[in-house]
Amino acid sequence: MITGKVDQPPGAMDVQPYPTEEDPAVWDSLTRWLPDWLVLRIPRYNLPAPLALAIIAAALLGAIMAPRLAMNGRTGMMLPAAILGVAALVIVAKWRILGLMALPIVSLMVPLAIGTGSKTGINAAVLWLGLLLGLWILDMLARERQIRLLAYRPVIASLIFGVVVVVAFGFGQLPWFATRSATLSAQIGGLLIFLMSIGAFLLVAHQIQTITTLKWMTWVFLGLGFVFFVFRLFPSTYWIMARLFVRQAVLGATFYAWLVAIAASQALFNPKLARGWRIVLGILVLMFFYVTLKGEDRYWVSGWLPPLLALVTVILLGRPGWGVFAVILGGLIMVFNTSLITGVFNEGDNTYSTITRLEAWRIMVEIIKVNPVFGLGMANYYFYTPLFPILGYKINFNSHNNYIDIIAQTGLVGLLCFLWVLGELWLLGWRMRDQVPEGFPRAYVLGALGGLVGTLALAALGDWVIPFVYNIGMDGFRSSMFAFIFLGGLVALARIYHISPGRSIEAAPK
């Protein structure tokens, strides 16, 4: 049911309060079947009963298993790890803001991963995000006693995209070719990447309630990025960098694009930020391009082109005159120094990469023809590619293009939904540019729009946005997650400042 009341500033429409446990009207069809113990909260600690019971069970299990675990040194490490995990669970359940602030830290710096028997494991970023999503859903069931979501168009589009992905997963169980398909664990992994990406967006959009929370999450992200690139400037400090950061995260192209977009927007268009900090952010952007455009790093086009497009977009939106000047200057450089540009795209393995990608895309069209509507399911096409030799070789390969990947796995319906989500986010951000206050909010909107353009470019250059399970995989989610997190922040910002006439979607009794 969609209610007509929304959060509004004083003097506008009445605010519909969140439901309380004493209000029987909030019981809905999704929670009526739950027993009382599952929705009650422990008053003293304000924790959901299931979480409190889980903590007690974990403590008892730890006490029983402690002597046996102590006999095995490696296994014994599981006990303190479990204790720390339970402590983190309690802290995050009590102070959700800390969990959101920790997302960049866990993604970039925690190397933990659980093996799955396939090419990729479930890493700390996936686990942490899953924990936050679980607590959010549990809180809606236990405290609010209803599933209540914002009715912003990007949110609705993302929910429909999620439904299409699940339907495509079902189609993936059909035998499309006379050869084996991806293992069920790989298909579930591919499904998880799609759903966790959508979940990251929805989580941040709904859980960030104040501008302060969004600021803290943003500053933590920028601070970690600054530290990383300081280490990258000096080869003698690489060993420190390798110990502090997770390689798969900090070398992810999505991390780069959003770091540049947000840092540049805050440096250029946040007049309320102290001049010293704006200079620091400007130095961060300069360090990034210095590092990525020198030596052999310049051959990695995904590493610098999307961030450059993000930067130009931020400038064009914030100061159109500056942006036009930058575009003209860049065009003149390309015209009078074509050897520099052609050299970058023709050196290294870029020529071979271009040839093989074009041939791979031609083959992908033939594979997609089998079911262009809902696709072939998660990761299945990887095992169908040997049926279509590429340059004379019968090998497994992936498309290295998110748009083609999405069509192959979820069909044209899935691609249209994906583009619908991004299109709605662009329209929302476009409306917000001149409606949010000057300072951090407006700079954030400009950065999000710049990051969105960079994300579109990244999707064309590889599976950077929604990682393919047999290529970048779960490890790539450490980086790709940032696109969905900060786009979710854009929706949260719209709600905080009442930009869109969004209503609330809630499952209410008929």
Q: Contact at 8 Å (CB) between 453 and 310? A: yes
Residue with the larger pLDDT of the pair 290 and 500: 290
Residue with the larger pLDDT of the pair 313 and 238: 313
pLDDT at 396 over 60: yes
Tokens read off for 227: 């530290």
Asked, for residue 2, whether it belongs to a domain, the answer is no
Asked, for residue 33, whether it belongs to a domain, the answer is no
Cα 385 to the center of its chain, rounded Å: 28
Nearest by Cα to 223 from 290, 284, 306: 284
Residue in this structure with the two tokens 């591919």, named with its chain if needed: 190
Name 295's Cβ contacts closer than 8 Å, sequence gap at least 6: none
Q: Contact at 8 Å (CB) between 243 and 128? A: no
How confident is the model at residue 97, as a pLDDT? 80
- Residue 149, strand partner residues: 505
How confident is the model at residue 25, as a pLDDT? 40
pLDDT at 341 over 90: no
In the predicted model, what is the mean pLDDT of residues 169-196?
A: 93
* DSSP letter (8 states) at residue 374: T
- Crossing angle of helices 184-207/124-139, nearest 10°? 60
Tokens read off for 439: 């300072």
Name 430's Cβ contacts closer than 8 Å, sequence gap at least 6: 449
pLDDT at 86 over 90: no
Q: How far apart are CA 490 and CA 214, in angstroms?
A: 10
Give residue-wise pLDDT tens across range 207-254.
Answer: 999 999 999 999 999 999 999 999 999 888 888 888 899 988 888 999
Q: List the single range of 17-21, 270-274, 305-309, 502-506 with lowest mean pLDDT.
A: 17-21
Nearest by Cα to 447 from 462, 432, 461: 432
How confident is the model at residue 454, as a pLDDT? 97
Residue in this structure with the two tokens 């579109």, named with its chain if needed: 456
Give residue-wise pLDDT tens across range 277-306.
Answer: 999 999 999 999 999 888 777 888 889 999
Q: Contact at 8 Å (CB) between 93 and 41? A: no
pLDDT at 84 over 70: no
pLDDT at 444 over 60: yes
Report how far apart, in Å, the C-alpha atoms of 418 and of each of 55, 101, 164, 364 are: 39, 27, 10, 19
Nearest by Cα to 202 from 436, 451, 505, 507: 505
How confident is the model at residue 437, as a pLDDT? 93
Alpha helices in 369-401 (DSSP H): 381-384
Q: Provide the number of structural domains found in the chain.
A: 1
Q: In which element (H, E) is residue 80 found? A: helix 78-94
Asked, for residue 293, whether it belongs to a domain, the answer is yes
Residue in this structure with the two tokens 């209540």, named with its chain if needed: 148
Asked, for residue 355, whether it belongs to a domain, the answer is yes
Asked, for residue 88, whether it belongs to a domain, the answer is no
How confident is the model at residue 354, as a pLDDT? 81
Name 56's Cβ contacts closer than 8 Å, sequence gap at least 6: none
Task: DSSP for 411-449, please give it.
Answer: HHHHHHHHHHHHHHHHHHHHHHTTTSPTTHHHHHHHHHH
**Enclosing domain of residue 396:** 150-499
How confident is the model at residue 85, as a pLDDT? 64
Asked, for residue 230, whether it belongs to a domain, the answer is yes
**Which burial class, exposed, middle or buried, applies to 370 when counting CB atoms under 10 A from its CB (0-12, 13-18, 19+)?**
middle
Tokens read off for 151: 């009715």
Instruction: Indicate the SS3 state at residue 48.
Output: strand
Percent of the chain with pLDDT over 70: 74
In the predicted model, what is the mean pLDDT of residues 177-183?
A: 90
Q: How far apart are CA 457 and CA 301, in angstroms?
A: 11
Query: Torsion angle of alpha carbons 397, 400, 404, 408, nearest 10°?
Result: 30
What's at 419, amino acid-wise?
Answer: L
Asked, for residue 13, whether it belongs to a domain, the answer is no
Tokens read off for 392: 């004379």
pLDDT at 473 over 70: yes
Nearest by Cα to 167 from 416, 376, 348, 366: 376
pLDDT at 508 over 50: no
Phi/psi of residue 71, nearest 5 degrees:
-75, -20
Q: How far apart are CA 380 and CA 177, in angstroms?
A: 10
Rg of the chain (C-alpha set): 24
Asked, for residue 400, whether it belongs to a domain, the answer is yes
pLDDT at 309 over 90: yes
In the predicted model, what is the mean pLDDT of the chain? 81
Alpha helices in 234-272 (DSSP H): 238-244, 247-250, 253-269
Q: Contact at 8 Å (CB) between 426 and 154? A: no
Q: List the single range of 36-50, 418-432, 480-494 with lowest mean pLDDT.
A: 36-50
pTM for the complete prediction?
0.81
Q: Contact at 8 Å (CB) between 470 and 189? A: no
In the predicted model, what is the mean pLDDT of residues 2-21?
A: 37
Give residue-wise pLDDT tens across range 87-114.
Answer: 666 677 677 788 888 899 999 998 887 7
